[in-house]
Amino acid sequence: MNRRQLVQFFAGLSVIASLVSAPVLAQDKVIKIGATGGPHAEILEVVKKIAAKDGLNIQIVEFSDYVQPNAALAAGDLDANSYQHLPYLEAQVKDRSYKLTSVGYTITFPMGLYSKKIKSPKDLKIGARIGIPNDPTNGGRALLLLQAQGLLKLKAGAGLQATPLDIADNPKKLKIVEIDAAQLPRSLDDLDAAAINGNFAEKAGLSPTKDGIAIEAARGPYANVIAVRTEDKDKPWVAKLLKAYHSAEVKQYVLAQYKSSVIPSW
């Protein structure tokens, strides 16, 4: 074999090697997923193990704030993130012009309606005092929960930013008392009922499914989502990620680990 033939031979081997190794490299690509510490990151650890069986290599990157995960995803430092509910993502996309898209639901930290005096929202008397969080986002969320229970009706278009001023119909003349969200569990003795965020309820030893007299829908407007760059939403790894997250093993883990303070939204 002369010099020219040797060059052609090794060139051919190089082409074959590149064709063979390409799928391996694609499969071995690390998918970086951002999450805040706590349940989001803990659940992803379970997802990571399940996804590995399907050839998906996940690296979890933890954040301590709610701003950086979307900024890092938009910048290309992450492939996905899992930490926010859909209204927050939509607000970030609108305010910061991020090209990010929700590709699937994950979990909900449900807001519940709690009471030490009644067993059902129907038992509320005329003029009952109802505590809700005094911040705009969670206050509107609480009013939507009360509306879903038929206790009041909000003005058309009030949406997630509703305030007590947006109440259009209040047949039981309920008195809405705005209180700091963290103080609501301690205020139950002085109220007929209170709408309490999942995290504050959990700290007070309250379970929305066991102790609540009403609870948000699992796939309500505040269900959390997995977000990716819009250009990546149809890539095969996204489908594998959702398949792993929406598995029976992950659902079982969530239900067993968090005792209904966190519920699956798929």
CATH of the domain at 56: 3.40.190.10
My answer on whether 90 and 118 are in the same domain is: no
Which of 28-37, 58-67, 116-125, 197-206 shows the lowest mean pLDDT across its residues?
197-206
Do 252 and 131 fall within a single domain?
A: no
On whether residue 117 sits in a domain, the answer given is: yes
pLDDT at 211: 94
Highest mean pLDDT among 47-51, 131-135, 138-142: 47-51
Q: Give a yes or no: residue 19 inside a domain.
A: no
| Sequence-ordered alpha helix ranges (H) in 97-173 | 136-148
Same domain as 155, residue 128: yes
- Which residues, 6+ apart, have CB-to-CB distance to 134 below 8 Å? 178, 179, 180, 181
Spatial distance between the Cα atoms of 201 and 131, rounded to a whole number of angstroms = 13
Q: Is residue 22 classed exposed, middle or buried when 0-12, 13-18 and 19+ CB atoms within 10 A define those classes?
A: exposed
C-beta of residue 169 within 8 angstroms of C-beta of residue 97: no
72 within 8 A of 58, measured Cβ to Cβ: no
- Over residues 57-72, the pLDDT tens digits come to 999 999 988 899 999 9
Q: What is the pLDDT of residue 116?
A: 97
Whether pTM > 0.85 for this model: the answer is no
**How far out from the chain centre does Cα 79 lie?**
17
Count other Cβ atoms within 10 Å, centred on residue 59.
Answer: 13
**Would residue 84 count as lying in a domain?**
yes
Q: What are the residue ranges of helices labelled H in 123-247?
A: 136-148, 198-203, 236-245
Q: How confident is the model at residue 4 (pLDDT cuts 50, 70, 90)?
A: low
The stretch 233-262 carries a mean pLDDT of: 94
Note whether residue 9 is domain-resident.
no
- In the prediction, which pLDDT does 17 show? 45
Residue 4 is inside which H or E element, if any? Answer: helix 3-28
Q: Which of 35, 52, 53 is nearest to 44 (CA)?
A: 35
> What are 118-125's contacts with CB under 8 Å, separation 24+?
118/192, 118/193, 118/213, 119/213, 120/213, 121/149, 121/150, 121/151, 121/193, 121/213, 121/214, 124/151, 124/172, 124/174, 124/192, 124/193, 125/172, 125/192
Structural domain includes residue 21: no
Token digits for 227? 């977000």
Distance of CA 50 to the CA centre of its chain: 20
Q: Report residue 91: phi and psi, to 5°.
A: -65, -40
The percentage of the chain sitting over the pLDDT mark of 70, rounded to a whole number, equals 89
Pair (208, 243) in one structural domain: no
Domain that holds residue 185: 112-215
168 or 181, greater pLDDT = 168
- Averaged pLDDT score across all residues of the chain: 89
Residue 18 confidence (pLDDT): 45
pLDDT in tens, 16-54: 444 444 444 445 799 999 999 889 999 999 999 999 999
